[in-house]
């Protein structure tokens, strides 16, 4: 799953521009209160390497390929200049939903996190119900379980939440066979199934499409090795896609926006409005939603913000060591 058309830059070149930042979040997300990222500057502009800290070096290699692809290769021809995006609602109490949605002005679609380990299905129902109340009947709601339900739990939850007119359910279960089974079991509800982790964390990202386990694919540039690798996967599956982020800084979101701009058919609002989840960012012009969309453009970090949000020396060393190990894997391919 490579996206590189040229020699990988030497490690010294990457280290020469590397900045490690730690950005606070408004609300806990994926168990995180802050997001760390390593930013690099290539000949084509700034780029991002930010695999989550629990990912091993082998999985992180795709993220580095993506960073090099975006920073050292020209971007494909853009078919659009702005990308409609969805709001993202973390697993917050229902009374905080309005506050969260207010950070996504003009967004007609909301993705709501469900299946959090410290909450119940009743909490999920209350959260989704409040999103429906705020958005009104014309709004679109998709839910994301991050693969945390088993098939029986997923069937029960989808049945309970389907009354809110769901656009789709993202990754209700973790494995491809489980997705195929829940898609069959809940077909009578006419709620599409979307696959995320089954695509980006799989050694065979096409398996979910071949198995008929999903109606929609959620595509993320960094985990899939970059814009070109992601476009190749999209072209091979024939399924509609939603381009989304991995809780990136605005630099990483720019990569996602350029991917979305290159997809021939873009039928869903994209999950690229997540700069609104960050209390901090690396640029004075973050890619925040305006009228429900973000522009397709490169992002240049602000030197003062890079310094202000610089990670601790210990965390910087950890990331630079990770970069070196991952670079060795990529150059050995």
**What residues form DSSP beta bridges with 265?**
none
Residues 22, 122 share a domain: no
Q: What's the confidence (pLDDT) of residue 30?
A: 78
Q: Is residue 90's pLDDT more than 80?
A: yes
User: How far is residue 87's CA from residue 102's CA, in Å, rounded to a whole number?
Assistant: 9
Q: What's the confidence (pLDDT) of residue 110?
A: 98
Residues 116, 39 share a domain: no
Task: Work out the pLDDT band at 173, boundaries 50, 70, 90.
Answer: very high
Residues 245, 133 share a domain: yes
Q: Mind giving me the DSSP string for 240-276? A: -EEEE-SS--HHHHHHHHHHHHH-S---S-BB--GGG
Residues 122, 249 share a domain: yes
173 token code pair:
């279960």
116-131 pLDDT, tens per residue?
988 999 999 999 999 9
Q: Over the chain, what is the mean pLDDT? A: 96
How far, CA to CA in Å, does 17 sit from each of 37, 159, 211? Answer: 13, 50, 43
Percent of the chain with pLDDT over 70: 98
Q: Which residue has the higher pLDDT, 87 or 31?
A: 87
- Structural domain contains residue 6: no
Answer yes or no: is 215 a known binding residue.
no
- Can you tell me the mean pLDDT for 66-87? 97
Q: Is residue 144's pLDDT more than 80?
A: yes
272-302 pLDDT, tens per residue?
999 999 999 999 999 999 999 999 999 999 9
178-213 pLDDT, tens per residue?
999 999 999 999 999 999 999 987 778 899 999 999
- Structural domain contains residue 239: yes
**What residues form DSSP beta bridges with 38?**
20, 49
41-79 burial code (b ≥16 CB/10 A, e <16) = bbeebbbbbbbbeebebebbbbbbbbbbbbbbbebeeee
pTM: 0.95
20-33 pLDDT, tens per residue?
999 999 998 878 89
- Structural domain contains residue 271: yes
Answer yes or no: is 170 a known binding residue.
yes
User: How far is residue 46's CA from residue 191's CA, in Å, rounded to a whole number?
Assistant: 39
Tally the domains of the chain: 2
- Structural domain contains residue 5: no
Q: Is residue 239's pLDDT more than 50?
A: yes
Q: What's the confidence (pLDDT) of residue 333?
A: 86
Q: What's the confidence (pLDDT) of residue 92?
A: 96
- Structural domain contains residue 21: yes
- State which residues form the domain around 63: 11-75+303-332
- Structural domain contains residue 2: no
Among 24, 96, 111, 113, the one annotated catalytic: 113
113 is catalytic: yes
- Structural domain contains residue 149: yes
Answer yes or no: is 196 a known binding residue.
yes
Out of 6-15, 132-141, 247-256, 318-327, pick the least confident.
Answer: 6-15
Q: What's the confidence (pLDDT) of residue 6?
A: 56
The CATH number of whichever domain residue 25 belongs to comes to 3.30.390.10
């Amino acid at each position: 799953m490579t996206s590189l058309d040229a020699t990988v830059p030497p490690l010294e070149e990457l280290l020469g521009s590397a900045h490690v930042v730690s950005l606070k979040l408004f609300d806990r997300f994926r168990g995180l209160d802050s997001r760390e990222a390593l930013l690099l500057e290539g000949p084509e502009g700034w780029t991002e390497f930010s695999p989550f800290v629990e990912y091993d070096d082998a999985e992180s290699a795709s993220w580095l390929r993506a960073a090099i692809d975006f920073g050292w290769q020209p971007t494909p021809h853009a078919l659009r200049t702005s990308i409609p995006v969805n709001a993202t609602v973390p697993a917050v109490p229902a009374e905080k939903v309005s506050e969260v949605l207010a950070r996504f002005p003009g967004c007609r679609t909301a993705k709501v996190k469900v299946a959090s380990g410290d909450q119940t299905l009743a909490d999920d129902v209350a959260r989704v119900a409040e999103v429906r109340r705020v958005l009104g009947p014309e709004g679109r709601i998709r839910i994301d379980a991050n693969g945390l339900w088993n098939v029986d739990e997923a069937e029960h939850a989808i049945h309970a939440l389907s009354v809110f007119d769901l656009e789709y359910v993202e990754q209700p279960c973790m494995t491809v066979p489980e997705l195929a089974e829940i898609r069959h079991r809940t077909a009578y509800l006419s709620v599409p199934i979307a696959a995320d982790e089954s695509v980006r964390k799989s050694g065979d990202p096409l398996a979910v499409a071949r198995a008929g386990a999903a109606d929609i694919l959620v595509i993320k540039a960094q985990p899939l090795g970059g814009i070109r690798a992601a476009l190749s996967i999209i072209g091979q599956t024939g399924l509609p896609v939603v381009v989304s982020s991995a809780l990136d800084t605005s630099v990483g979101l720019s990569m996602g926006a350029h991917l979305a701009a290159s997809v021939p058919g873009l039928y869903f609002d994209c999950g690229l409005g997540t700069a609104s989840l960050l209390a901090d960012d690396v640029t004075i012009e973050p890619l925040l939603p305006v009228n429900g969309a973000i522009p397709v453009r490169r992002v240049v970090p602000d030197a003062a913000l890079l310094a202000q949000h610089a990670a601790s020396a210990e965390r910087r060393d950890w990331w630079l060591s990770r970069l070196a190990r991952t670079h060795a894997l990529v150059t050995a391919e």
